[in-house]
Amino acid sequence: MKRRQFLKLTAFAGTGLWLGAPHAWGAASASADFSLPPLPYPYPALTPVIDALTMEIHHSKHHQAYVDNLNKALKTADPKFLNVKLETLMSLIDSQAPVAIRNNGGGHYNHSMFWKLLQPAKADNQPKGELKKSIEAQFGSFDQFKSQFQDAALKVFGSGWVWLFKTQEGQLKVGTTANQDNPLMPVSAIQGQPVLALDVWEHAYYLQYQNKRKDYIQNFWQIVNWSQAESNFKL
């Protein structure tokens, strides 16, 4: 598109009359709305570890609600929260940040990361390469890492997440956060780059597992996308 045409279009967009979608374009304060990313696989793809209905509700209802409520919260937010990438938004979540941005922004970031960390079940599913080496160096063995991660997941009281994350010093650690917090948020007690995440909110497993969170956590290892975890590790 030529520059003059582009300026014309953006000027028109700024009036809030663009294609009948003033919520997305209106007023000078408009920030680009966040949107629900498609799942990288169909809803039934993770069976028998996670059933199709759980995936459908989790993605199309729960995650969608975080996206919608985040966009709504941003409409009245301090300008510093506008027009930033999701990762940058996470870095702005301190104890003063609006709760709606903290919870829904965290919900959007965490789920967007979580979907990519899952894949159809595989036998003998294990990390490879640099991440495998680093896990072994830090935890002694892959099995020892798994048991530390599982213990942490079982101890989350109420709703939250379990993380494998990389500290600023490059050390791998296991930790948990409540609600939709994550290790990128300054408000979080654990700090670093998320590598692997597990949603232990009941909405993530209750239809299939009911109160048996332990079975959900143990089955999770079959569907971890370790290539994606390694990409996260290299960030």
Whose Cβ is closer to Mn ion: residue 204's or residue 223's? 204
Answer yes or no: are the C-beta atoms of 49 and 58 closer than 8 Å: no
Nearest-approach distance from CB 182 to Mn ion, in angstroms: 12
Pick 55 or 204: Cβ nearer Mn ion: 204
Report how far residue 166's alpha carbon sits from residue 191's, in angstroms, rounded to the nearest whole number. 8
Q: How many Å apart are CA 204 and CA 156, to the nearest integer?
A: 14
Q: What's the min distance (Å) between Cβ of 123 and Mn ion?
A: 27
CB of 219 to Mn ion, least distance (A): 16
Give yes or no for a contact between 92 and 81, defined as CB atoms under 8 angstroms apart. Answer: yes
Give, in degrees to the nearest 5, the angle at Cα 18 between 16 and 20.
Answer: 95
Q: CB nearest Mn ion: which residue?
A: 199
Binding residues for Mn ion restricted to 180-209, rule: CB under 5 A: 199, 201, 204
Give the 3-state secondary structure percentages of the chain, helix then strand then coil, rounded to 5: 50, 10, 40
Q: Pick between residue 199 and residue 230 the one whose CB is nearest to Mn ion.
A: 199
CB of 203 to Mn ion, least distance (A): 5
Q: Is the dihedral of CA 37, 38, 40, 44 positive or negative?
A: positive
For Mn ion, which is the closer residue by CB, 31 or 179? 179
> Least Å distance between CB 101 and Mn ion?
18
Whichever of 115 and 201 has its CB closer to Mn ion, that residue is: 201
Residues contributing to the site for Mn ion (CB under 5 A): 199, 201, 204
